[in-house]
Amino acid sequence: MVSQRTIHTVFRILRREAPHWNAPVVTHMASLSRDPYQVLIACLLSLRTKDETTGPAARRLFSLADTPDKMLRLAPKQIERAIYPVGFYKTKVRTVIDVSRRIIEEYDGHVPDDIDELVGFKGVGRKTANLVLTQGFQKLGICVDTHVHRISNRWGYVRTKTPEQTEMALRDKLPQQYWIEINDHLVALGQTICHPTSPRCSQCPLERYCDKLGVVRSR
């Protein structure tokens, strides 16, 4: 079981092994540009879309417009062609335009660095807001997506039913020094080894610490 006693060991292993796994695309893009606006837009494009589609789409879009002011100069069809084939691309065009307009009109062209302000934007939930805070501003936050939710429960470190409950449980339990990096590591682990079904437990460097809760079949 991953416990408060073993969590530091777990993160030492994650820091050592994660560079060899499939890194989340938004994190990769954030490493190239820590611009909060680009992180926010990339996050919005990534929703319900595979990383291999999100990355190229975001790069195509940012080659045309990498600020909210430039984005609003594009025609909706230009944005649509740039981001296709991300999931729900027509809806995301409207979201990108709406978010960009609000940033200019209400925040003087700057993405707010407050989670309550961020979740007020169209299409932005707590996962996206936390990712903007951590990747765009390097501020404390815990981004909980399906991988973080699944794996932290599979470990037995938390016992929760929803990603939002997992975020709150981790805020209470996880040492702050690991808040920003947990998403990067567990997304990489989840995409490479700790799959939703039939995880590759025999290849996992954390197997000895994992309760394997909910695991019916593994490899």
May I ask the CATH architecture of the domain 7-22+142-209? Answer: Orthogonal Bundle (1.10)
CA dihedral of residues 26, 3, 1, 25 (deg, nearest 10):
0
- Whether residue 145 lies in the annotated active site: yes
* CA-wise closest residue to 27 among 146, 176, 181, 191: 181
pTM score of the predicted model = 0.90
Taking only the tens of pLDDT, the chain with its 219 residues reads 899 999 999 999 999 999 999 877 776 666 667 899 999 999 999 988 888 899 999 999 999 999 999 999 999 999 999 999 999 999 999 999 999 999 999 999 999 999 999 999 999 999 999 999 999 999 999 999 999 999 999 999 999 999 999 999 999 999 999 999 999 999 999 999 999 999 999 999 999 999 999 999 999
Catalytic entry in 113, 145, 173, 184: 145
Instruction: Retrieve residue 139's tokens.
Output: 């501020």
Phi, psi of 147 (to 5 degrees): -70, -50
CA distance linking residue 61 with residue 78, whole number of Å: 9
Domain ranges of the chain: 7-22+142-209, 35-136
Instruction: Compute the distance between CA of residue 63 and CA of residue 60 in angstroms, rounded to an integer.
Output: 5
Is 139 an annotated catalytic residue?
Answer: no
* Neighbour count for residue 63 (Cβ, 10 Å): 9
The answer to whether 166 and 154 are in contact (CB under 8 A) is no
Q: Does domain 35-136 have CATH number 1.10.340.30?
A: yes
Catalytic residue among 127, 184, 211, 212: 127
The token pair that represents 157 in the structure block: 């470190």
